[in-house]
Copies of this chain bind each other. A is one copy, B any other.
Amino acid sequence: MGDGPAPLARCDSPPPTPPVGSGVVTDLPPLDPAADVLALTRALVDVPSVSGSEGALADAVEAALRALGGLEVERVGDAVLARTNLGRPTRIVLAGHLDTVPIADNVPSRLEDGRLYGCGTSDMKAGDAVMLRLAGRFGVPGAAPAHDLTFVFYDNEEVEAVRNGLGRVARERRGWLYGDLAILLEPTDGEIEAGCQGTLRAVLEVPGRRAHSARSWLGANAIHGAAGILATLAAYRAREVDIDGCVYREGLNAVRIEGGVAGNVIPDACTVTVNFRYAPDRDEDAAEAHVREVFADAVAAGATLAVVDNAGGALPGLSEPAAAAFVAAVGRPARAKLGWTDVARFAAFGIPAVNYGPGDPQLAHTREEHVLVDRLQPAEDALVAHLSGSTA
């Protein structure tokens, strides 16, 4: 679960010493997809894999997938790709990141009161363990899933987007990502979260003219000049948009304001950074146009507006047959995903994508991160049922 710095407390220990480089199979105990999902989750958590140090874990996952015998496997950096090629009319992509935020004295894992504690338990090694279980069931010779399956384990999801392993796979091995539905096993508490909102950041800069504050009339106070921008933000009424039964609630917020030179100087600049979270019925251009319209008066009065970051959202795509079938299989209504997530990378190719995983999103990135043990098996069971066609 990425999306920039988290509002919750971040794990703040330094990353562990990076393990031996990618591609070298180390002497870790092998991962066994035949082990139960809890044991597999623990085994994954106990191999540290802070963003940028996923090599050892990727090695272990690659070795386990190759050993199954029924999968085409490819390694792309520290991303591991595997798929069945059974000629099924539909293909479902299952994706999960291997990396975690920095460890906070919470590795190895610890089982207590029905909870498995540890860095990455909820976000998202429990989901990775479910994926490995599915690979172990459907990626062996003679297995007969209802759909062809693609497994994507990737690196660097918890850091800046430019390093994101799924983005790299999309650029370098796009064919591996095609399918009729993508399921990301990010923590969703067992709910289906569909699509995602877009996010745009813009910086408004209000100019002024410096002067000594004892002679303020010789200057122009840029902070005072930002009054209209803050009034616009305070009065802004955000839309709620229903798409495929998912309600996306937008928001336009100042996330930073800065101005001032010294305690006796009329400031000549004030900058307001705003973050617009927008429903996926707007694309990136429409989102920018909206923000420019909202602040048209401020710009007319002399402010500049620069969009510094704009990532479009993803429509839920639940009217697509493969997605609708999955929602039916899980048996609960999908809800809107409000943060930006990697589902948007699939949506950019026209592939419906949802988040669905056993972890708890509220615990992601916290020192107390854990996953409820009794959420693991139901997630696996629901996916097994859907992928084997028994609920279709």
Contacts and interface: CB of A to CB of B under 8 A. Distances in A.
A234 B225 contact: yes
A213 B251 contact: yes
Contacts of A7: 210-213, 261-262, 264-266
Contacts of A211: 7
Contacts of A260: 254-258, 273
Contacts of A227: 227, 230-231, 233-234
A42 B55 CA distance: 70
Nearest to A262: B5
Contacts of A258: 257-258, 260
A224 interface: yes
A87 interface: no
A41 interface: no
Interface string A214-251: 11110001011111001101100010000000000101
Given A3-B214, A212-B7, A259 B263 contact: no
Contact of A262 (B4, B257, B309): B4
The size class of the interface chain A forms with chain B is: 35 or more
A199 B238 CA distance: 42
A272 interface: yes
A277 interface: yes
Contact of A259 (B214, B254, B339): B254
B223 A199 contact: no
Given A199-B214, A214-B197, A216-B277, A257 B254 contact: no
A257 B210 CA distance: 15
A259 B266 CA distance: 19
Contacts of A251: 213-217
Contacts of A351: none
A253 interface: yes
A267 interface: yes
Contacts of A213: 7, 199, 251, 253, 255, 275, 277
A162 to B, nearest CB: 15
Contacts of A3: 214, 264
Interface string A182-197: 0000000000000001
B4 A340 contact: no
A31 interface: no
Given A251-B216, A339-B214, A257 B277 contact: no
Interface string A1-36: 001111100000000000000000000000000000
A350 B101 CA distance: 65
A201 B263 contact: yes
Between A256, A259, A266, A339, the greatest number of chain B beta carbons within 10 A of the residue's beta carbon is seen for: A256
Contacts of A4: 262-264
A323 to B, nearest CB: 22
Closest 7 pairs between A and B when the two form their complex, measured CB to CB: A256-B260, A227-B230, A216-B251, A223-B254, A5-B262, A214-B339, A224-B234
24 contacts: A4-B263, A4-B264, A5-B262, A7-B210, A7-B212, A7-B213, A7-B265, A7-B266, A199-B213, A201-B263, A214-B277, A215-B249, A221-B254, A223-B257, A224-B233, A227-B230, A227-B233, A253-B266, A256-B259, A256-B260, A257-B257, A258-B260, A263-B273, A263-B275
